[in-house]
Chains A and B, each alone.
Chain A
Amino acid sequence: MKLKIRFIDCNCSFGVPGIPFFRIAKNAAELVEELDFCGIDKCLVHHASMRFDSPIIGNNRVIEEIKEYRSRLLPTWAILPSQTGEQPEAKIFIKKMIKNDIKILWSFPNEHRYNLDENTFGDLLQLLTKRHIPLFVKDNLLSIGKLLASFPKLIVIAVNQGPHNVDRYLFPLIEKYPNLYIETSSYIGADAIENFCAKYGPNKLLFGTGFPNNCSGGSILQLIQANISHSYKEAIAHGNIERLLKEVKL
C-alpha cells in the first residue's frame, strides 16, 4: 500500500540504549525495515550512543553505520561544550560537519548535563544562526525560551514537546520567534495539530515519530487523518524539513 503522503521522519534513532526497551532498531538495517513497514520515505537519524553513550562516540558511529543507507537515512550530530575539550571549538566543528555532510545538530542538555546558553555555546550558536543550521533541542520550553531570548534568529526545533499539552508555553514563543519549530512525535493532543494550524499555519510543524521511544504508527495516523488540508499535511510531513535542509549554508 502506498500512503497518500510522503513522510520524512525528523526524529528517530537506531542503536542500543542503556535504558529499558521493548523493540528498537539495533542497527541501520533494522531501522530501514521499520521505515518500510510504516511507509516512511526518509529520516533524519541519530545514533542511540549520541544520546546515551557520548556524542564523541555516537557522532562517529552514526556516519559509519549508515553508509549503506545514505539515500534513506540523513545523519545528524550532537553537540557538547568545547571548553572541556570533548568537542572542538566552533569553527573546527563546523568544518567537520562540512566534511561529513552533516546539516542537522542535536542538543540533549539534560542527559549531557550542560547549559545550552551563550556562555557555554556562544560561538557555535552564532555560527549556526549565520549558516542556517537547524538545532534540534530536547529540553523543555522554559529552557528553549531562554535560549531564544539570547539567539532570537537561531533555527530551533523543539522535540518531544509533550505528551501533555504545552500550548500555554509554546504559543507565546511561536509568536515571538520566527525560527522556532515543533517536532510532532509528542505533540499528540486531540485536535492539537488542527488547532495549531488554524492559528499559525503548517510551516512550524515537522513530522517526527520519536522511534523507538514512541510507537511510529501513532504519528502517522494522526497526521494522515488530521482535519487540515492536504497541502498542510504535505508541509508538515516533508515540505518544511526539506526547505530547512535546502537553506543550510555549509
Chain B
Amino acid sequence: MKNISPITKEYLENGYSKTCPIIDMHTHFGPFYRHHMPAANINKMIEILKKCGVKRIVSVPHQSFSDAVYGNSIMQEVIDSYPEYFLGYWCINPNYQDIIKRDLSNFDKFRGFVGFKFIPDYHTYPLTGLKYKPVLEFANEHKLLILVHTWGGSSFNSPQMVLEIAKEYPDVRFIMGHSGYGDWELSVSIARDLPNVYLELTAVYVAHDFSMLPGGSGTPVQLLSCLSVNGIIEYMVGIASSKKIVFGTDLPWYSPHFAAGAILFARIGDEQKHDILHRNAEELLENFLKEDK
C-alpha cells in the first residue's frame, strides 16, 4: 500500500488513533421507521465509539423526527447518563410553534445541548420560512450551533437557502449536514465565503442512487452529481480549506470506520485530516469540552 500517512496506518492497525481521535458532529440513536439499524441502541453505539476512537458525538434521537418533545427528553436522559460520550442538538419541528416558544424560554435549563437541529426535508417546511425565525434569532443571540439537514435541489433545505439565512444570522454557526449533497459547487463556495458556515461529511463519501432504494429516500431529490463522489473531500479542502469541514456519520446509519476510511485515503495531508476528524469540532464545541482538558 502506497498510502504512507501515519494516521491512516494507525487506524488500519488499531482501529483508532491516539493522536487523531474523532469527534462526530452528526449522529442519531434509537430505532427508525424506515430502516433496520443494527447499531441503534446506546450500548452498541458506545461499543462502536470505543472501537473507532470516537471521543465525543453530538446527537439527535430518531424519535425527535416525529415527536420532538419525546425525542428531546430522551436526548436529555442520554446526555445525563453518558456525558463522556454524548452532546445533543435540540430538535426543532417548525410545525409546532407553541412547543418551540416553550423550549426556547427553558433552553438555559437544558444540559449538554450545543444548539439546534433542523431537518426541513423531513418536516416539509422550508428553512427560510417564518416558523424557523424565533429559533434563528435565539441561536444568533446566544451564539449557538445549528446542524441543518441540507441537500442539493431540495425545496426545503437547499444550499441556497443556507446562504440566505447564514448571512442574516452571522453569529449562528451553521453546520451543513451532508454538505448540500450534490450541489457541491455552491455548498463549498458558501463554506469558503461565509465564516459561520461549515461543511459536514455525513453520507458525502458514498454515491447516492435513489433508484437503489425501493421505498425512496427521506430526501426527495437526486441530482446526477450524487452518483460519483470520490475526490469530493480533496475538492472541499482545495476550495473551502480543511478548517471548514467537520466529520459526521449519521451513526447508526453509517459505519464510523467507513467514513474515516474515506478521509484517511483521501489525497490530503495529515494536518488536514486532523482538522476534519477532530480539531474543527473541538473549536466549535470548545465550551462543552472544557472538562475533557
Q: Do A and B come from one complex?
A: yes
Q: A interface vs B, CB < 8 Å?
A: 1-3, 17, 19-24, 36-39, 110, 138-142, 160-169, 185-186, 188-192, 194-195, 210-222, 224-227
- Which of B169-177, B252-260, B274-282 is the contact stretch? B252-260
Q: Is the interface of A mostly helix, strand, loop or mixed?
A: loop
Residue B262 is within 8 A (CB to CB) of chain A in the complex:
yes
Tell me the complex Cα distance, A217–B208, Å.
Answer: 17
Tell me the complex Cα distance, A141–B35, Å.
Answer: 14
Contact A217 B228 (CB under 8 A): no
Contact A21 B1 (CB under 8 A): no
Q: A36-B1, A167-B35 provided; 7 other pairs, C-beta below 8 A? A: A110-B211, A163-B206, A191-B48, A213-B207, A213-B228, A220-B12, A221-B260
Tell me the complex Cα distance, A179–B168, Å.
Answer: 57
Contact B227 A213 (CB under 8 A): yes
Tell me the complex Cα distance, A37–B267, Å.
Answer: 10
Residue B270 is within 8 A (CB to CB) of chain A in the complex:
no
Which residue from A2, A140, A164 sits with its C-beta under 8 Å from B1? A2
Shortest A238–chain B CB gap in Å is 15
The 9 A-B pairs at the shortest CB distance, nearest first, are namely A217-B265, A23-B231, A22-B231, A221-B261, A39-B1, A215-B262, A195-B38, A191-B39, A190-B39
Q: Contacts A110-B211, A189-B37, A191-B255 known; A221 to B249 CB distance under 8 Å?
A: no
Which residue from A1, A212, A225 sits with its C-beta under 8 Å from B9? A1
Task: Report B-chain residues with C-beta under 8 Å of the C-beta of A141.
Answer: 214
Name the interface residues of B14-51: CB closer than 8 Å to any CB of A: 15, 34-39, 44-45, 48, 51
Tell me the complex Cα distance, A160–B230, Å.
Answer: 15
Shortest A181–chain B CB gap in Å is 16
Shortest B146–chain A CB gap in Å is 24
Tell me the complex Cα distance, A22–B182, Å.
Answer: 12
Tell me the complex Cα distance, A53–B44, Å.
Answer: 45
Shortest B239–chain A CB gap in Å is 11
Which residue from A17, A39, A169, A211 sits with its C-beta under 8 Å from B214? A169
Q: Contacts A1-B12, A140-B214, A221-B258 known; A22 to B253 CB distance under 8 Å?
A: no
Tell me the complex Cα distance, A226–B203, Å.
Answer: 19
Task: Report B-chain residues with C-beta under 8 Å of the C-beta of A36.
Answer: 1-2
Q: B interface vs A, CB < 8 Å?
A: 1-4, 8-9, 11-12, 15, 34-39, 44-45, 48, 51-52, 203, 205-209, 211-214, 217, 224-225, 227-235, 249, 251-267
Tell me the complex Cα distance, A210–B232, Å.
Answer: 15
Which residue from A1, A3, A164, A222 sits with its C-beta under 8 Å from B261? A222
Tell me the complex Cα distance, A21–B205, Å.
Answer: 13
Tell me the complex Cα distance, A111–B199, Å.
Answer: 31
Contact A22 B212 (CB under 8 A): no
Task: Report A-chain residues with C-beta under 8 Å of the C-beta of B225.
Answer: 19-20
Contact A191 B228 (CB under 8 A): no
Shortest A83–chain B CB gap in Å is 24
Contact B255 A165 (CB under 8 A): no
Contact B211 A218 (CB under 8 A): no
Contact A160 B234 (CB under 8 A): no
Tell me the complex Cα distance, A140–B212, Å.
Answer: 4
Which residue from B8, B37, B230, B252 sits with its C-beta under 8 Å from A21? B230
Q: Contacts A164-B35, A169-B214 known; A188 to B254 CB distance under 8 Å?
A: yes
Tell me the complex Cα distance, A162–B253, Å.
Answer: 10
Chain B CB within 10 A, most for which of A2, A162, A224: A162
Task: Report A-chain residues with C-beta under 8 Å of the C-beta of B15.
Answer: 225
Q: Contacts A22-B235, A140-B211, A163-B203 known; A189 to B230 CB distance under 8 Å?
A: no
Q: Contacts A1-B12, A140-B214, A217-B266 known; A23 to B230 CB distance under 8 Å?
A: yes
Tell me the complex Cα distance, A20–B152, Å.
Answer: 14
Q: Contacts A19-B227, A22-B234 known; A162 to B206 CB distance under 8 Å?
A: yes
List 13 interface pairs A-B (beta carbons < 8 Å), by A numbering: A139-B211, A141-B214, A165-B36, A167-B38, A185-B206, A190-B249, A214-B206, A215-B205, A215-B231, A217-B3, A218-B258, A221-B264, A221-B265
Shortest B229–chain A CB gap in Å is 7
Contact B262 A213 (CB under 8 A): no
Tell me the complex Cα distance, A192–B52, Å.
Answer: 15
Tell me the complex Cα distance, A1–B8, Å.
Answer: 11
Task: Report A-chain residues with C-beta under 8 Å of the C-beta of B262.
Answer: 214-215, 217-218
Q: Contacts A22-B235, A164-B217, A188-B254 known; A221 to B11 CB distance under 8 Å?
A: yes
Contact B261 A191 (CB under 8 A): no
Task: Report A-chain residues with C-beta under 8 Å of the C-beta of B266.
Answer: 215, 217
Contact A24 B255 (CB under 8 A): no
Which residue from A1, A38, A189, A222 sits with its C-beta under 8 Å from B39? A189
Chain A CB within 10 A, most for which of B11, B228, B259, B267: B228
